[in-house]
Amino acid sequence: MTPHNEAKKEDIADIVLMPGDPLRAKYIAENFLTDYKLINSVRNMFGYTGYYNGKRVTVFASGMGMPSMGIYSYELYKFYDVKSIIRLGSCGAYSPDLNIFDTILVNNSYTEGNFALGLEGVNCHLAKADAELNEKLKATANKENIKLIEGDVLCSEVFDYYVKDLNALINRFPKDLNIIGAEMESFALFYTSKYLNKKAACLLTVVDSHYKKQEISAEEREKSLNSMIRIALESL
C-alpha cells in the first residue's frame, strides 16, 4: 500500500493498462474483463484487476498530467512489481492527415517541461517507448485489422486549447521529430519506466484536431476508444 493506492501487492497484475480517466478504467473493466474487482478507490483513482481471455490484467487510472502519471507509474513499478504499463489515452492531432478516432502508437514523447530534472536532476526532454512492447502492439493491430499510425507526440504541461500561441509552440518542436499529436502523460510514463528498468508503451486515440473542425463529447471520449483498448488487451 502507498498513500495513493490501497491495493495489496498481490491485487495487482504484472501488466497494467493505464487510462487517464478513472471512469475509462471502470468502462474497460465492466466491458472487457471477467471476474474483475475494484482494488483501489483512493482519491477516486479507480483500479481494477480481472481477466481477459484467461490472462490476468490490471486497469488503473493515472489522472491528468505528468505529476499524476509520475506518482502512479512509479509506485506501480517500484512497490507492486509491475513489469509493463500501456497507457491508453486521448490526444489532439497536430497532423492534417489524422482524423477523429485514428489510433496512434507513440514512439517518442517530447516535453518542454522538467519532469526528468525534478526526478533525478537530468536535463532530458525526450523519452522513448519500449521497442519490444511496441512491436507486440503493432503485430496485434495488424492481426486485428486495426489501422495503427506511428509517430511522436508532445507531452505538454498545459492543455493545448489554452495555449496563447499554438503555432509558436508548434514551431518550437525539434525538427528531427515527427510530432503528430499532443497529450499530457506519456513522457512521465516513459521516463519513469526507464528510470526503474521497466517497460512502457502508449496508445492514443485522436479526439480533436488542430487542423480540422472535428470534436467529440466527453461521453464519447470515455466510451468510443475501443480500438486501442482491443489492441492492448489482445496483446496480452
Residue 81 catalytic?
no
Let me know: does 41 contact 29? Beta carbons within 8 Å: no
The torsion of the CA quartet 198, 111, 16, 63, rounded to 10 degrees, works out to 140
181 dihedral zone (left: phi>0; alpha: psi -120 to 50; beta): beta
- How many C-beta atoms lie closer than 10 Å to residue 45's C-beta? 18
Nearest to 11 by CA among 83, 53, 59: 59
Query: Catalytic: which of 11, 21, 152, 208?
Result: 208
Cα-Cα-Cα-Cα dihedral sign, residues 155, 31, 229, 192: positive
Whose grid coordinates read 507492486?
Answer: 80
Q: How far apart are CA 114 and CA 157, in angstroms?
A: 10
Q: How far apart are CA 179 and CA 160, in angstroms?
A: 14
Catalytic positions: 208
